Amino acid sequence: MLQEVFFEDMGRRAYKEVWDYQENLLKSNTDIKAAARQSGTEPPPLSLPTIHRLLFVEHNPVYTLGKNGKDAHVLINDAQREQKGISYFHINRGGDITFHGPGQIVGYPILDLEKFRTDLGWYLRSLEEVVILTMAEYGLKGERSPGETGVWLDPHTKGKERKICAMGIKCSRWITMHGFAFNVNTDLDYFNFIVPCGIQGKQVTSLQKELGREIPMQEVSEKLRKYFKEVFGCRLV
C-alpha cells in the first residue's frame, strides 16, 4: 500500500516560523513512537499513526549554519548582514552554512522512514534523485559529487563545479526534518558572503542562470512533486 504524504505549500515565510512548525510536526510523530514503546506492547511501525508531510516554502533571506558548521564560513559581520536584511540561525541539521531566500524552493519532508526504509544514505540519495529528475526536464544533467551531499552540474570538471541544490537533514526515531534547497530564480549574490556548505573554490548556480531565463516557480514545484511521488513510491494528498 502506498504511503500517504500530506503536501503543504507554505508560500513565503520567515525561517524561524517554519523551523518551529517542523519541530512540532516531528515531535508529534516521535511522541507517538515513544508512547508505543512505553506501552510494553509496541506495535509494528506500519501500524503506528505517524503522519508524513512534505512542506514547500520560499524563505525571506537567511543564512543557516548546521550543527557541525563553522561561523568563519560567514564572510560578513553581523552589522553588514543586518544591513542587507539577512537573518542568521544556528540550527540542528547536518551540514555547514547555506542560504535560503526568494526564488528558491525549500523542501522539508517530515517522513517516518520506518514506513519507507531505515537508511539515511538511501534517503539522501532519493532526495537528490528527485532534483536530478526535475533538472532533466530542463535539459540539465544534475549529478552527485563524491563525498558532498546535494546536486551539482559538472562535479567532475575542476573549475566548473556548480552546486544547484543543497541538502541537510535531522532524523529522530527515524522521523526526518529539514531537507533540500533548490535554486530556481535565486539571487546568487547572497552566496558571495558565505562559503556555501563550507566547500571552498566551487560555484553556486540556479536554473535561471543555467537556462538564461526566469523559470515559473509553480512549474518547478509541480515537477518536484511528481518525482517525489515516483522516487518515494507514495501519494501526495
Check 165, 171, 197, 234 and give the catalytic one: 197
**C-alpha dist (Å) from residue 137 to 61, 130, 163:** 28, 11, 18
Q: Which amino acid is at 170?
A: K
Alpha helices in 42-191 (DSSP H): 78-83, 120-136
- For the question of residue 171 being annotated catalytic, the response is no
C-alpha cell at 14: 520567515
Mark residue 135 as left, alpha or beta (left: phi above 0; alpha: psi -120 to 50; beta: remaining).
alpha
Residues near 46 by beta carbon (within 8 Å), at least 6 away in sequence: 114, 115
Dist. CA 127–CA 179, nearest whole Å:
8
- Report the C-alpha gap between 113 and 55 in whole angstroms: 16
- The grid coordinates listed for 229 are 511521488
C-alpha cell, 110: 517530515
Q: Which residues belong to the active site? A: 197
